[in-house]
A and B are shown apart, each in its own frame.
Chain A
Amino acid sequence: MMNKQGRPSQPQSDNASKSFETFSGHRGLQQEEGIIFDRARSGETGVDLPIPGSRPSRLGGLERTEEIGLAGLSEPEAVRHYVRLSQKNYSIDTGFYPLGSCTMKHNPRLNEKVARLPGFADIHPLQPVQTVQGALEVIDTLAHWLKELTGMPAVAMSPKAGAHGELCGLMAIRAALEAQGDARKVVLVPESAHGTNPATAAQCGYAIKTIPAADDGLIHLDELKAQLNDEVAAVMLTNPNTCGLFERDIVAVADAVHAAGAYLYCDGANFNAIMGKVRPGDLGIDAMHINLHKTFSTPHGGGGPGAGPVVLSAALAPYAPVPYIVNEGDGYHVIETEEQSDVSPLGRMTAFYGQMGMFTRALTYAMSHGADGLRQVAEDAVLNANYVLAKLKDLFSAPFGDRCMHECLFDDAFLKDTGITTLDFAKAMIDEGYHPMTVYFPLVVHGAMLIEPTETESKETLDRFCQVMRSLALEAKDGQSDRFTQAPQYTPRRRLDETQAARNPVLRWLPPKSDDISPLQAAE
């Protein structure tokens, strides 16, 4: 029978009218989602567990009597809750993420698959070593790759992230100096350094002195030399630096540092730009951490976990922390304590072996690319950044010339007199569907915008991005400030009140009617 209820199959003119508030608060695919404590009931659970046995308790009278207050959800509710939350996130899988210094490259799924093999994921760090020879082989093999790529003789694998690797490297330097009876007090850090560098040096008991940047964005060699003396334990340098430039005086820097009896630490956050092109060991570097979650593509996971193995020169190698692996021909052994070691470990950075789950991913990535592919990674990363720089430099303001390494830096001079800040510009990019570049870092230029495309973006993506960036710049210069100052508009939340968050910190949910007189305010 014929269906006479013909329904419109074209948008009607009034379908295009402007937005309105919905009853539900949802906006189509954009679902509002409350926090679990708003609705969950304490008796609810999403796991089916057997009834516990009834043997006499051995809790020694310490049985919990108070309710914890945890909220529970059934599996379908929990899955929906977290899937909805996920949809409020930007990610590298869903869009271009040119966050300078952070290296948001594609995360291959083979890495994930390998890390989840039960032979890696379901083994305990304190199993007898003869039952984990394959795991130790992964660590030893990755160590070999890292040493070859950096031209360094040793590597400490256990540091948990970049900053932890910095700490390990500086401790090795301090241990080496103290072994020589040389108690130096100062670490020199360039103005453009990541905040972790001075924070790490302080955590290692050093006083920090800052080396100002030269006008070309590079380290001021004469300033450095002027500050070098027998009080200086180390210089911490990032190369390529945070302005996206290769420190071309690096060999002279290393020579000067060594002549002063100090060590050269390199922040390896940007190793992805030079991997397979030049080896840090050849540049005179004594210690450098490698962020496996940047250069070796392990996922950032919304803030971690990372991994920060530290390659060490021959002078620092004896001070590498425990545990470390030795292969004496009859299989792998582990030196787990300072007593078992025949050298002078600086101590232990963490329980167990470090970020095994990141080692399997990083090794999978490295073997996939191979020596040839890893060089291509660096070349394409540098090519992509220079391409963006070339496409934008006439409308944006590039303070340090028309060449860069893996990332390109702009300042806010092009926004002068527009009333639009770097932050406004970044938020407008969000409305255009892009994650903003890194903003206000490094500190050496005003209103910094640091763009790192990475090698895993296509020319088409970069072309489209540059078109959009140019359009935004033209609008900004044209005085159309509303779309910048009011941005973002097409996001689950508009700009958030960070002042209120910091003035009256609400760091957890509390039951609405708490008798607690804590100054914490209950969430709504």
Chain B
Amino acid sequence: MTKKFTEDHEWVALDGDVATVGITSYATEQLGDIVYVELPDTGRTIAAKDEVCVVESVKAASEVYAPVSGEITEANEALADNPSLVNDAAETEGWFFKMKLSDAGELDGLMDDAAYAEFVKGLG
């Protein structure tokens, strides 16, 4: 399984041709307590960098962008009742949506684990 990261602090994990997307632990630390996730509609076709959903803390709302292009196949309904999952398990159970990739090659343009760690370090 490949896991990649964007500069907007999304992670994307590829399993077969299904990619799971969420926001990174670093992002949740910056946002604080997550109180709401506006989940995307399934079936929607999106291009990389499209705004897909919104994640909210008490005092901020942040857009989540599509890391790669494809079709949204599933949203994490567990977040509707329990948004704190994002804080507790940002990069596992706190995933936002799954998508079917239209071009797996797009993943190559994203950061790997080490590169993202370096990127975050640079943010101070």
Interfacial residues, chain A to chain B (CB-CB below 8 A): 440, 498-499, 502-503
List 14 A-B pairs, Cβ < 8 Å.
A440-B59, A498-B58, A499-B33, A499-B35, A499-B58, A502-B35, A502-B36, A502-B56, A502-B58, A503-B33, A503-B35, A503-B36, A503-B83, A503-B84
Instruction: Output the nearest chain A residue to B83 by Cβ-Cβ distance.
Output: A503
With both chains docked as a complex, state the minimum distance between the C-beta of A442 and any C-beta of chain B, in angstroms: 15
With both chains docked as a complex, state the minimum distance between the C-beta of B36 and any C-beta of chain A, in angstroms: 7
With both chains docked as a complex, state the minimum distance between the C-beta of A517 and any C-beta of chain B, in angstroms: 14
Instruction: Output the nearest chain B residue to A499 by Cβ-Cβ distance.
Output: B33
| B residues near A498, Cβ cutoff 8 Å | 58
With both chains docked as a complex, state the minimum distance between the C-beta of A199 and any C-beta of chain B, in angstroms: 13
Instruction: Output the nearest chain B residue to A503 by Cβ-Cβ distance.
Output: B35
Which of B33, B56, B84 has the most chain A CB atoms inside 10 A of its CB? B33
With both chains docked as a complex, state the minimum distance between the C-beta of B31 and any C-beta of chain A, in angstroms: 12
Interfacial residues, chain B to chain A (CB-CB below 8 A): 33, 35-36, 56, 58-59, 83-84
| A residues near B33, Cβ cutoff 8 Å | 499, 503
| A residues near B35, Cβ cutoff 8 Å | 499, 502-503
12 new A-B contacts, CB < 8 A, other than A440-B59, A502-B58, are: A498-B58, A499-B33, A499-B35, A499-B58, A502-B35, A502-B36, A502-B56, A503-B33, A503-B35, A503-B36, A503-B83, A503-B84
| A residues near B83, Cβ cutoff 8 Å | 503
Q: State A502–B84 Cα separation when bound (angstroms).
A: 11
Q: State A503–B83 Cα separation when bound (angstroms).
A: 7
| B residues near A440, Cβ cutoff 8 Å | 59
With both chains docked as a complex, state the minimum distance between the C-beta of A288 and any C-beta of chain B, in angstroms: 30
Instruction: Output the nearest chain B residue to A519 by Cβ-Cβ distance.
Output: B81
Q: State A73–B36 Cα separation when bound (angstroms).
A: 38
Instruction: Output the nearest chain B residue to A498 by Cβ-Cβ distance.
Output: B58
With both chains docked as a complex, state the minimum distance between the C-beta of A400 and any C-beta of chain B, in angstroms: 24
Q: State A499–B34 Cα separation when bound (angstroms).
A: 8
Q: State A440–B58 Cα separation when bound (angstroms).
A: 14
| A residues near B58, Cβ cutoff 8 Å | 498-499, 502
| A residues near B56, Cβ cutoff 8 Å | 502
Instruction: Output the nearest chain B residue to A440 by Cβ-Cβ distance.
Output: B59
Which 10 A-B residue pairings sit nearest by Cβ, starting from the closest? A502-B35, A499-B33, A503-B35, A498-B58, A502-B58, A499-B58, A499-B35, A503-B83, A502-B36, A503-B84
With both chains docked as a complex, state the minimum distance between the C-beta of B32 and any C-beta of chain A, in angstroms: 8
Which of B58, B59, B83, B84 has the most chain A CB atoms inside 10 A of its CB? B58
Q: State A498–B34 Cα separation when bound (angstroms).
A: 11
Q: State A498–B56 Cα separation when bound (angstroms).
A: 13
| A residues near B84, Cβ cutoff 8 Å | 503
With both chains docked as a complex, state the minimum distance between the C-beta of B34 and any C-beta of chain A, in angstroms: 8
Instruction: Output the nearest chain A residue to B58 by Cβ-Cβ distance.
Output: A498
Q: State A440–B59 Cα separation when bound (angstroms).
A: 11
With both chains docked as a complex, state the minimum distance between the C-beta of B80 and any C-beta of chain A, in angstroms: 9
Q: State A237–B90 Cα separation when bound (angstroms).
A: 40
Q: State A498–B58 Cα separation when bound (angstroms).
A: 7
| A residues near B36, Cβ cutoff 8 Å | 502-503
| A residues near B59, Cβ cutoff 8 Å | 440
Q: State A186–B35 Cα separation when bound (angstroms).
A: 33
Q: State A502–B58 Cα separation when bound (angstroms).
A: 7
Q: State A503–B35 Cα separation when bound (angstroms).
A: 5
Q: State A504–B59 Cα separation when bound (angstroms).
A: 15
Instruction: Output the nearest chain A residue to B80 by Cβ-Cβ distance.
Output: A519
With both chains docked as a complex, state the minimum distance between the C-beta of A190 and any C-beta of chain B, in angstroms: 20
Q: State A192–B85 Cα separation when bound (angstroms).
A: 34
With both chains docked as a complex, state the minimum distance between the C-beta of B20 and any C-beta of chain A, in angstroms: 23
Q: State A280–B104 Cα separation when bound (angstroms).
A: 58
Q: State A122–B84 Cα separation when bound (angstroms).
A: 52
Q: State A498–B35 Cα separation when bound (angstroms).
A: 9
Instruction: Output the nearest chain A residue to B82 by Cβ-Cβ distance.
Output: A503
With both chains docked as a complex, state the minimum distance between the C-beta of A447 and any C-beta of chain B, in angstroms: 13
With both chains docked as a complex, state the minimum distance between the C-beta of B39 and any C-beta of chain A, in angstroms: 15
Q: State A205–B19 Cα separation when bound (angstroms).
A: 36
With both chains docked as a complex, state the minimum distance between the C-beta of B8 and any C-beta of chain A, in angstroms: 18
Q: State A25–B33 Cα separation when bound (angstroms).
A: 31
Q: State A178–B83 Cα separation when bound (angstroms).
A: 45
Q: State A499–B59 Cα separation when bound (angstroms).
A: 10
With both chains docked as a complex, state the minimum distance between the C-beta of B54 and any C-beta of chain A, in angstroms: 14
Instruction: Output the nearest chain A residue to B81 by Cβ-Cβ distance.
Output: A519
Instruction: Output the nearest chain B residue to A502 by Cβ-Cβ distance.
Output: B35
With both chains docked as a complex, state the minimum distance between the C-beta of B83 and any C-beta of chain A, in angstroms: 6
| B residues near A499, Cβ cutoff 8 Å | 33, 35, 58
With both chains docked as a complex, state the minimum distance between the C-beta of A162 and any C-beta of chain B, in angstroms: 22
With both chains docked as a complex, state the minimum distance between the C-beta of A417 and any C-beta of chain B, in angstroms: 16
Q: State A502–B33 Cα separation when bound (angstroms).
A: 10
Q: State A503–B56 Cα separation when bound (angstroms).
A: 10
Q: State A498–B36 Cα separation when bound (angstroms).
A: 13
Instruction: Output the nearest chain A residue to B35 by Cβ-Cβ distance.
Output: A502
| B residues near A503, Cβ cutoff 8 Å | 33, 35-36, 83-84
With both chains docked as a complex, state the minimum distance between the C-beta of B114 and any C-beta of chain A, in angstroms: 31
Q: State A440–B60 Cα separation when bound (angstroms).
A: 12
With both chains docked as a complex, state the minimum distance between the C-beta of A518 and any C-beta of chain B, in angstroms: 14
With both chains docked as a complex, state the minimum distance between the C-beta of B87 and any C-beta of chain A, in angstroms: 10
Q: State A226–B58 Cα separation when bound (angstroms).
A: 36
| B residues near A502, Cβ cutoff 8 Å | 35-36, 56, 58
With both chains docked as a complex, state the minimum distance between the C-beta of A477 and any C-beta of chain B, in angstroms: 24
Q: State A498–B59 Cα separation when bound (angstroms).
A: 9
